[in-house]
Amino acid sequence: MDQFLSLPEESFLKKERDKARKLRSSQWWKRKRSSGICQYCKNFFLPKELTMDHIIPLALGGKSEKFNLVPCCKECNTKKNQLLPWEWEEYMTSIKQ
């Protein structure tokens, strides 16, 4: 295993999850999901059905900052799991063919 690759500590993950929880109740997040469009599949949903996804997952060092958070449907969020943006893009391209 690469000596430079390490998983985030549990304290980092807890702090970032707490920040995400607070952002989910903010007006910013309510406006962000108000269109009802999933960031990934572009399908329409009721805004309350959209989940918050970290573009760069917390487990891979992403943070709960506005630039790293997007609304997406539960199905896309589950499928994306801990993929990085380019890995997810490759997956989305492969299922459209």
pLDDT 10s digits, 37-85: 999 999 999 999 999 999 999 989 999 999 999 999 999 999 999 999 8
Query: Residue 2 falls within a domain, yes or no?
Result: no
Full domain range(s) for residue 41: 10-96
For residue 28, what pLDDT is reported?
97
pTM: 0.84
- Burial profile 29-41: b = 16 or more Cβ within 10 angstroms, e = fewer: beebbeeebbbbe
C-beta atoms surrounding 78 within 10 Å: 10
Backbone angles phi, psi at 21, to 5 degrees: -60, -45
Query: Residue 5 falls within a domain, yes or no?
Result: no
Query: Residue 3 falls within a domain, yes or no?
Result: no
Q: What is the number of structural domains in the chain?
A: 1
Q: Which CATH number covers residue 38?
A: 1.10.30.50
